Amino acid sequence: MADFRFSFDLLDVGSRERFIETCRRGEAYGYDTVFAADHLGFAAPFPALVAAAAATERLKVGTLVLNAAFWNPALLAREVVTTDVLTGGRLEVGLGSGHMKWEFDEAGIPWESFGPRADRLERVIEELGRLLAMEGYPQHAATREALGLPTFGPVQRQGFGGSGPPLIVGGTGDRVLRIAAEHADIIAVAGLYQIKGRPPGTFRLGTAEEAAERVRYARERAGDRADQVEWHVLIQLVLETDDREAAAEGLLERYGHTMTVEEILDTPFLLIGTVEQMAEQILRDRERFGFTYYTVHGPFMDAFAPVIERVRALAKPS
pLDDT tens by residue, the chain, 318 residues: 579 999 999 977 889 999 999 999 999 999 999 999 999 999 999 999 999 999 999 999 999 999 999 999 999 999 999 999 999 999 999 999 999 999 999 999 999 999 999 999 999 999 999 999 998 899 999 999 999 999 899 999 999 999 999 999 989 999 999 999 999 999 999 999 888 888 877 889 999 999 999 999 999 999 999 999 999 999 999 999 999 999 999 999 999 999 999 999 999 999 999 999 999 999 999 999 999 999 999 999 999 999 999 999 999 876
Neighbours of 195 (CB within 10 A): 14
Q: Please, what is the average pLDDT of the chain?
A: 95
DSSP tag of 215:
H
- Count Cβ neighbours within 10 Å for each residue of 27-59 and write b for 16 or more, e otherwise: bebebbbbbbbbeeeebebbebbbbbbebbeeb
Model confidence pLDDT, tens digit, residues 222-266: 999 999 999 999 999 999 999 999 999 999 999 999 999 999 999
The pTM assigned to this predicted structure is 0.95
Largest CA distance in the chain: 70
Taking only the tens place, the pLDDT of each residue in 151-160 is: 899 999 999 9
Distances (CA, A) of 220 to 95, 144, 178, 224, 289: 21, 45, 9, 9, 13
CA dist., res. 66 & res. 76, Å (int): 10
Dist. CA 230–CA 307, nearest whole Å? 20
Handedness of CA 195, 199, 201, 202 (dihedral sign): negative
